[in-house]
Amino acid sequence: MAEETKLNRREFISWFWLGWITFSVIVGIVLSALGRFLFPNVLFEKPSKFRAGMPTDYSVGVDERFKDTQSVWLVKTNQNTMYALSTVCTHLGCTPNWLSSEQKFKCPCHGSGFRPTGLNYEGPAPRPLERFAINFDETGNIVIDKSKKIMNASEWEQSEFLLKV
């Protein structure tokens, strides 16, 4: 009789631990699902506008300081204007390289070439590099707005896309 009671106590402890482990697993699954609900997997995008400093920070030519962080080349002309070019090739989206010795952008993927203006002149790219809106803020800093862009050379003279400096 005493042995039977001891056996029952062992069984009880086994069942207790099995129940406790099952309960813990279920609670873990529920908390995990709750965590995914409270903190969803959201994609955070960079703001479309950024400050690019003062015009005096730039010399004439293609400037690559925002190529990696913003996918933008800033170009200052010797006619005191500036514009912002997209670094995305208009063929299939690779990133061209700026070749200062040849004064051109050259895409490594299929060989498209672009003038410093962004005009496509060789290879399969069907149109020029896109240009982004460029303006001054109230403090005189250059502001690039990548949410506004133009695709055709006929639009290049629009004041929103050509900054007089």
> Among residues 55 and 96, whose Cβ is nearest to ligand FES?
96
For the chain, the C-alpha Rg in angstroms (whole number) is 30
Which of 160, 155, 88 has its CA nearest to residue 125? 88
Q: Is 10 in the site for ligand FES (CB under 6 A)?
A: no
> Among residues 76 and 131, whose Cβ is nearest to ligand FES?
131
Total binding residues toward ligand FES, as defined by CB under 6 A: 13
Are 122 and 112 in contact, with CB atoms under 8 Å apart?
yes
β-sheet bridge partners, residue 83: 75
β-sheet bridge partners, residue 136: 142
Q: Is 163 in the site for ligand FES (CB under 6 A)?
A: no
Question: Cβ 87 to ligand FES, closest distance in Å?
Answer: 11
From the list 98, 112, 128, 131, which residue makes contact with ligand FES (rule: CB under 6 A)? 112
Cα atoms in the Cβ-side hemisphere of radius 13 Å centred on 163: 24
State the residues that interact with ligand FES by CB under 6 A.
89, 91-94, 107, 109-112, 123-125
